[in-house]
Amino acid sequence: MTLNRKRFIGLVCILTSALLLFGCINGNVTYEEGFPTEDTPALMEFMKSYLLNGDNELIKEDNAFIYSVKNHTEKLGKINYYKFTEVQLKKEYNRLFETNDVQASIKKLKENVTALHHPLSSEEARNLPSIEKVESNQLFNKNKRK
């Protein structure tokens, strides 16, 4: 090995050691364990994702959300929709701030998630496709085009 190559390898080792040493000494805590003590936009997004079990968000408008139900079985032969507002969602999970057993309360909230499934108005439903599965696994769009 040449002298320059040995110096380069030594320099890389020193820099790597310095990065590891000084990178691990950070005294700032960037996370906290446990359930939050107050509502945040990130908590609302997490609760939507966790509670709605992968249902598809179609529309977010004026603090209201329209979702389609994810088909978890083959027997569901059509697309179902529901809506809720930010206020309704927060009302459901705000109880978690007042309980001592957050894990049991979240489980109960997830079991009763259909409380967020509010029917669409006729105007909202008119703007979404009404699709059903018919024989031979073909899809049929019941919406009429003008």
Cβ–Cβ under 8 Å, residues 36 and 25: no
Whole-number pLDDT of residue 134: 78
Whole-number pLDDT of residue 24: 66
List all residues 6 or more positions away from 82 whose beta carbon is below 8 Å from its beta carbon.
Answer: 66, 67, 69, 116, 117, 118, 119, 120
What is the band of 86 on the pLDDT scale with cuts at 50, 70, 90? very high
Cβ–Cβ under 8 Å, residues 100 and 76: no
**Is the per-residue pLDDT at 131 higher than 90?**
no
**Is the per-residue pLDDT at 138 higher than 90?**
no
What is the band of 7 on the pLDDT scale with cuts at 50, 70, 90? confident
Cβ–Cβ under 8 Å, residues 50 and 74: no
Query: Average pLDDT in the 71-99 region?
Result: 84
Whole-number pLDDT of residue 144: 62
pLDDT tens column, 11-36: 888 888 877 777 666 666 677 788 88
pTM, two decimal places: 0.66
Beta bridge partners of 140: 132
DSSP-assigned letter for residue 100: S
